[in-house]
Amino acid sequence: MTSPKLSLTRRYLQTTRTLSEALPYMRQFTGHTFVIKYGGHAMGSDEVMLNFARDVVLLKQVGINPIVVHGGGPQIGEMLKRLNIPTSFVDGLRVTDKAAVEVVEMVLSGAINKEIVGAIGAAGGTAVGLSGKDGRLIEARQLTRTVRDPDSLRERVLDYGFVGEPVAINARLLQSLAGLDVIPVIAPVGFGAAGETFNVNADTVAGSVAAAMHASKLLLLTDVPGVLDQQGKLIPTLTAEQARAYIADGTVSGGMIPKVQTCIDSVLNGAGAAHILDGRVQHVLLLEIFTEQGIGTMLQAV
pLDDT category at 191 given cuts 50, 70, 90 is very high
Residue 67, strand partner residues: 35
Domain spans of the chain, in order of start: 34-296
Residue 40: predicted pLDDT: 65
pLDDT at 106: 94
Over residues 59-65, the mean pLDDT reads 94
Q: How would you class 41 by CB atoms within 10 Å of its CB: exposed for 0-12, middle for 13-18, buried for 19 or more?
A: middle
286-298 tens-digit pLDDT: 989 988 777 899 9
Q: What is the DSSP annotation of 241-301?
A: HHHHHHHHTTSS-TTHHHHHHHHHHHHHTT-SEEEEEETTSTTHHHHHHSSSS-SSEEEE-
pLDDT score for 268: 97
How confident is the model at residue 295, as a pLDDT? 87
At 182 the pLDDT is 94
- Range in 80-89, 124-133, 186-195, 233-242 with the lowest mean pLDDT: 80-89
d(CA 194, CA 203): 24
User: For residues 255 and 201, what is the distance between their CA atoms, to the nearest angstrom?
Assistant: 13
The whole-angstrom separation of Cα 139 and Cα 93 is: 19
Q: Note the pLDDT tens digit of each residue in 3-48.
A: 666 566 676 666 666 677 777 878 889 999 999 999 866 676 778 8
Which of 217, 188, 235 shows the shortest CA–CA distance to 290? 217
Pairing of strands 33-38, 273-278: unpaired
Question: 282, 201, 264, 200: which is closest to 227 by C-alpha?
Answer: 264
pLDDT tens-digit series, residues 125-142: 999 999 999 999 999 999
190 beta partners: 198
Burial class (CB in 10 A: 0-12, 13-18, 19+), 288: buried
Whole-model pTM? 0.89
**Cβ(133)–Cβ(195) below 8 Å:** no
Residue 87: is its pLDDT beyond 90?
no
Phi then psi for 68, rounded to 5 degrees?
-105, 130
- For residue 41, the model assigns a pLDDT of 63
CATH class held by domain 34-296: alpha beta
**Is the predicted pLDDT of residue 149 greater than 90, yes or no?**
no
